[in-house]
Amino acid sequence: MKLHEYQSKAIFANYNIPIPSGKVASNAEEARQIAAQIGKKVVIKSQVLVGGRGKAGGIKVAATPNEAEQLADQILAMTIKGLPVRKVLVDEAINIAKEIYLGVVVDRAAKCATVMASAAGGVEIEQVARDTPEKIVRVQVDPAFGLQEFQARDLAFAVGIDKALVRDFVTIATGLYRAFVANDASLAEINPLVVTAEGKLIAADGKIVLDDNALFRHNDLEQLRDIDEESPAEARARKAGLSYVKLDGNIGCMVNGAGLAMATMDVIKFYGGEPANFLDIGGGAKADKVKAALEIILSDPNVKAVLFNIFGGITRGDEVARGIVDGLREVKTKVPMVVRIVGTNAEEGRKILADALMITAATLEEGAQKAVAAAQKQ
Ligand code: GDP
Ligand code: MN
């Protein structure tokens, strides 16, 4: 789950990270009031869950409350990378002397968190990583000790922080790391961390991505979820307890198990197809879940065929098959359905599915090939 800039900054503030004073507004009048309260130049920032808002024109500086109102009105009417702007953050404007990147991510290969910093801040870090990877410095953090001061100091020197600001940089970097750990984040990022003309460090932007699998132990963070930002299909999947990620292909995937879902997508691609989604219906696969999953998959107009890849383990194959048939009965569709089912009671399951006019396959290879062929025919 991604947090908005204003939400991320509010969390940063609890970890000794300086942020500009400001408030979020949902209409132009509110923006004007906030600007008047701040009483100096402000920056109006669209709150959408994508990067590159600045380049897209979603960030503007206003000299007066009236101008803040006008600009907020303009920005609130914008759609950035497909996302309508529903809120703006009105922040005290900063005089930027230098923009630095500072972020904490999970480094899977190293099995620890890694803190990254770059003197090439402001622009998207993915671009820096592509074009000039040598401009990013990294330190790996031992989870038993946390980010050590000497490590933060090394980063400060590597990105050319002024001696007088090193102590503040260390406070910010260690604060960011603690915020990352305490909130079970997969990413915590300040881009840019600004060196102001007055010689201070301040977080001008903030981004936190939370690990959905840890949200159950952060009730307070779950409250921050912005349901307006979720697609209807994603919201539906979350409520039904399904893991669903929409992709750009045309073969819908219905699979029980996340690893199996990944393997299914790989095999579809191997045979020249493109998966339309990742979907893990989890254990059980009862009719109501299958029905919800099928409706979600079919709500994507690109879907030209659906491949079911089911492993009958603790849940027997015939049970899953009955769930699928019951689900299909309620979701009327002409989209071809290919099913591969193995494991406990697979034979019985296959018979039930063949009776329901589904295309059956004995192996995943065969299933993927049949699904690719069926999608091409449509
Ligand atoms: P992003 O484009 O979505 O990453 O949004 P940011 O919050 O990072 O803003 C993009 C750019 O706008 C920053 O890199 C700054 O150059 C500029 N910007 C943001 N806030 C301020 C501000 O208070 N004053 C000034 N002068 N520029 C700002
Ligand atoms: Mn940014």
For the stretch 41-72, pLDDT in tens is: 999 999 999 888 999 999 999 999 999 999 99
| Sign (positive or negative) of CA dihedral 210, 212, 213, 215 | positive
Summarize pLDDT for 190-216 with one digit per residue, the tens.
Answer: 999 999 999 999 999 999 999 988 999
Compute the distance from residue 65 Cα to the ligand 1 centre, in Å. Answer: 19
Does residue 370 share a domain with residue 240? Answer: yes
Integer Cα distance of 336 and 5 in angstroms:
43
Please tell me which residue in 5, 6, 15, 101 is annotated as part of the active site: 101
Testing ligand 1's pocket by substitution, the residue of 46, 59, 127 carrying the most ligand atoms inside 8 A of its CB is 59
pLDDT confidence band for 329 (50 / 70 / 90): confident
Q: Which ligand number lies closest to the CA of residue 100? A: 1
Q: Would you state the pLDDT for residue 157?
A: 97
Integer Cα distance of 48 and 83 in angstroms:
7
Give a yes or no: residue 15 inside a domain. Answer: no
- Give the residue numbers spanning the domain of 147: 96-222
The CATH number for 274's domain is: 3.40.50.261
- E-assigned strand segments in the chain: 22-25, 42-46, 59-62, 79-80, 83-84, 88-92, 96-107, 112-118, 136-141, 185-196, 201-203, 207-210, 243-246, 251-255, 277-280, 305-312, 337-343, 359-361
Give a yes or no: residue 14 inside a domain. Answer: no
The domain tally of the chain equals: 3
- Ligand 1 in contact with 72 (CB < 6 A)? no
Active site residue 189: yes
Q: Contact at 8 Å (CB) between 159 and 100?
A: yes
Whose structure tokens read 């063949």? 354
Domain boundary among 72, 92, 112: 92
Does residue 201 share a domain with residue 102? Answer: yes
Of 46, 47, 44, 19, give the one whose Cα is nearest residue 34.
Answer: 44
Summarize pLDDT for 250-301 with one digit per residue, the tens.
Answer: 999 999 889 999 999 999 999 999 999 999 988 766 777 888 898 999 999 9
- Ligand 1 in contact with 43 (CB < 6 A)? yes
The CATH number for 49's domain is: 3.30.1490.20
- E-assigned strand segments in 158-317: 185-196, 201-203, 207-210, 243-246, 251-255, 277-280, 305-312
Q: Would you state the pLDDT for residue 288?
A: 77
Compute the distance from residue 141 Cα to the ligand 1 centre, in Å. Answer: 29
- Ligand 1 in contact with 98 (CB < 6 A)? no
Please tell me which residue in 5, 69, 99, 189 is annotated as part of the active site: 189
Residues in the chain: 378
Compute the distance from residue 65 Cα to the ligand 2 centre, in Å. Answer: 24
Pairwise pLDDT comparison (40 vs 315), residue with the higher score: 40
Q: Would you state the pLDDT for residue 289?
A: 82
- pTM, whole model, 2 decimals? 0.79
